[in-house]
A and B are shown apart, each in its own frame.
Chain A
Amino acid sequence: MAAILSIRNLRKAYAGGFEALKDVNLDIDEGEIIALLGPNGAGKTTLISTVCGITMPTSGSVTVAGHDILTDYRQARRLIGLVPQEIALEPFEKVINTVRFSRGLFGKGRKDSAVEDLLKRLSLWDKKDSQIRELSGGMKRRVLIAKALAHEPRVLFLDEPTAGVDVELRKDMWEIVEQLRADGVTTILTTHYIEEAEAIADRVGVISKGEILLVEDKDTLMARMGKKQLDVQLTTQLDAVPDVLAGYDLALGDEGRTLIYSYDVNAERTGITKLLTDLQKAGLQLKDVVTRQSSLEDIFVSLVHEPEAAQ
């Protein structure tokens, strides 16, 4: 698939000298959902703001469907919708008017049927004549999304769409993103909820200190870096791993009541059968056995702390 968004050697240094983005390169395919993960201050918002035209790049280039964001900004920006992190809306305006405004601002003529469809899809139709200040926080977020989609963009940026949002609304957001994918909209979302990236993204990019550490297919990433753990709970307490079991990658946990065995899910042989046999030989009584797979969160934490792991 062709890249709809192409970022080349993008650098952004603020007036104070702080380098928010250092040589960022990223290609995003049409129709995919990509999650940019990173701690606070990693440069996620700066990246989005630069692509959308809110901040000016120091150097490098960005194209949207082949249109440069600086020299051909009209075409480029028409294709982009942005849902900002902070709720910023005209408090006294009606929902429908603010959505119409966004549509017009992005150069699309008034089309009531399109606005009606959009508001219905976002469950805002009942509230169309309410003033924005009367809406709940969740509803306001929906209005922000409606505004971003009002001009039928092909690329949607969601900057931390579910920060401070309750579980139910978060699930709703994910559904909305899923619907958009069905319409062929490319979605780029930033988040520091790993759960979110895990739930909806096709690809995951990890950004830290202004650099993209890694961009990979979510499943590949999980598989490549995913380790599995087998926790063997014992009836007796051990002081140390018995010598007979020294050949295994074992650690003691829970004050010696649990043996923790780490293994690679992708390996031909996991060694579990042999371990369990050897445990029996060593005369250890098993109380329970649990397996755990490392989540994207574990991967993320290890990446941010040891960037070389990404190589």
Chain B
Amino acid sequence: MNWTAIRAIYVFEMARFFRTMAQSLISPVLSTSLYFVVFGAAIGSRIQEVEGVSYGAFIVPGLIMLTVMTQSISNASFGIYFPKFIGTIYELLSAPVNFLEIVMGYVGAAATKAMFIGVIILTTSFFFVDIQIQNPLAMIAFLVLTCISFALLGFIIGIWAGNFEQLQLVPLLIVTPLVFLGGSFYSISMLPPVWQTISMFNPVVYLISGFRWAFFGISDVSIGTSLMAIALFTALCLGAVWWIFKTGWRIRQ
């Protein structure tokens, strides 16, 4: 394992984040605050407690997940797409590194950035609602796993994308709906039975449910199922990345 190379990629990618620190943080903090104002205060005040948790607090895990997932994807997809776009990918391809090392560097950095933003949002939410975290360790574990698996997905999108429009396409057309329909702002049990069944095919449901369980001890699906789902999702993404590097799909002729 070429740890020096992994570290080099990681440090280089994190530098991009720190260069644009202010804008990296302002936008998620602002949009989270808006969600709190709109959903938490304006609409939430008319909604009863959800399974014994105030609505404002109930949406906190979902909000964090929403942002962390989109951030993981956008950071990782941009991180690998940009070298492709400007041509610096030649250096990665000619370096003595294997696919796992490249992925660890890029995905590690993207996941770290998303984690960082997730923590900031959690901190922000303390200003708006009163929340307690029942299982801090499980919360961290879920956060880390989500960041990593969605950064992997983002990495795949970045390799696949042939232009900037495509880079936005998957997050916009697939991920955002999945996240919104994954119970970020409601409990699956609030849906009609048909939609409850359909929701079970949405992988994001399992992540948000598990993450919410870590906060409040309540969940739509069992914690074991959540863990299985996220493990499966991570494995699928890793498999796809492995295949990409093995075949050189879209990167090596």
The answer to whether A86 touches B87, judged by C-beta atoms less than 8 angstroms apart, is: yes
**Among A56, A74, A98, A147, which residue has its beta carbon within 8 angstroms of that of B2?**
A74
CA–CA, A109 to B87, complex, Å? Answer: 25
Chain A 106-118: CB-based contact to B (< 8 A → 1; otherwise 0): 1111000000000
Question: Contacts A14-B253, A97-B12 known; A90 to B4 CB distance under 8 Å?
Answer: no
The answer to whether B4 touches A55, judged by C-beta atoms less than 8 angstroms apart, is: no
Which residues does chain B contribute within 8 Å of A100, judged by CB atoms? Answer: 8
- Residues of A77-112 at the interface with B, using a CB-CB cut-off of 8 Å, are 77-78, 80, 82, 84, 86, 88-93, 97-98, 100-109
Give the size category of B's interface with A: 20 to 34
CA–CA, A74 to B7, complex, Å? Answer: 17
A66 contacts partner chain B, Cβ-Cβ < 8 Å: no
Q: How far is the CB of B93 from chain A (nearest CB, A)?
A: 5
Which residues does chain B contribute within 8 Å of A105, judged by CB atoms? Answer: 5, 8-9, 91-92, 95, 97
B239 contacts partner chain A, Cβ-Cβ < 8 Å: no
**Among B8, B16, B88, B96, which residue has its beta carbon within 8 angstroms of that of A88?**
B88
CA–CA, A89 to B11, complex, Å? Answer: 16
CA–CA, A74 to B12, complex, Å? Answer: 21
Closest residue of chain A to B248 (Cβ to Cβ) is: A56
The answer to whether A90 touches B9, judged by C-beta atoms less than 8 angstroms apart, is: no
Which residues does chain A contribute within 8 Å of B5, judged by CB atoms? Answer: 104-107
Which residues does chain A contribute within 8 Å of B9, judged by CB atoms? Answer: 101, 104-105
- Residues of B1-57 at the interface with A, using a CB-CB cut-off of 8 Å, are 2, 4-5, 7-9, 11-12, 15-16, 19
Which residues does chain B contribute within 8 Å of A101, judged by CB atoms? Answer: 8-9, 11-12
Closest residue of chain A to B5 (Cβ to Cβ) is: A105
Which residues does chain A contribute within 8 Å of B90, judged by CB atoms? Answer: 52, 54, 82, 84, 88
CA–CA, A100 to B83, complex, Å? Answer: 17
The answer to whether A15 touches B253, judged by C-beta atoms less than 8 angstroms apart, is: yes
Which residues does chain B contribute within 8 Å of A97, judged by CB atoms? Answer: 12, 15
Which residues does chain B contribute within 8 Å of A53, judged by CB atoms? Answer: 93-94
Which residues does chain B contribute within 8 Å of A88, judged by CB atoms? Answer: 86-88, 90
Q: How far is the CB of A102 from chain B (nearest CB, A)?
A: 6
B250 contacts partner chain A, Cβ-Cβ < 8 Å: no
Q: How far is the CB of A164 from chain B (nearest CB, A)?
A: 16
**Among B12, B86, B94, which residue has its beta carbon within 8 angstroms of that of A82?**
B94
CA–CA, A82 to B89, complex, Å? Answer: 12
The answer to whether A90 touches B87, judged by C-beta atoms less than 8 angstroms apart, is: no
The answer to whether A107 touches B252, judged by C-beta atoms less than 8 angstroms apart, is: no
Which residues does chain B contribute within 8 Å of A86, judged by CB atoms? Answer: 87
CA–CA, A101 to B93, complex, Å? Answer: 14
A73 contacts partner chain B, Cβ-Cβ < 8 Å: yes
Which residues does chain A contribute within 8 Å of B87, judged by CB atoms? Answer: 84, 86, 88
The answer to whether B12 touches A77, judged by C-beta atoms less than 8 angstroms apart, is: no
The answer to whether B88 touches A77, judged by C-beta atoms less than 8 angstroms apart, is: no
- Residues of A249-283 at the interface with B, using a CB-CB cut-off of 8 Å, are none
Closest residue of chain A to B253 (Cβ to Cβ) is: A55
Closest residue of chain A to B94 (Cβ to Cβ) is: A52
Known: A56-B252, A77-B94, A106-B5. 7 other contacts (CB 8 A): A54-B94, A55-B252, A76-B96, A84-B90, A105-B9, A105-B91, A109-B4
A residues at B contact (CB < 8 Å): 14-15, 52-56, 73-78, 80, 82, 84, 86, 88-93, 97-98, 100-109, 147
A-B contact pairs, 18 of them (CB 8 A): A52-B90, A54-B90, A56-B248, A82-B90, A82-B91, A84-B90, A88-B86, A90-B12, A90-B83, A91-B86, A92-B16, A93-B12, A93-B16, A104-B4, A105-B8, A105-B9, A106-B95, A106-B96
**Closest 4 A/B residue pairs (Cβ):** A104-B8, A88-B87, A77-B96, A74-B96
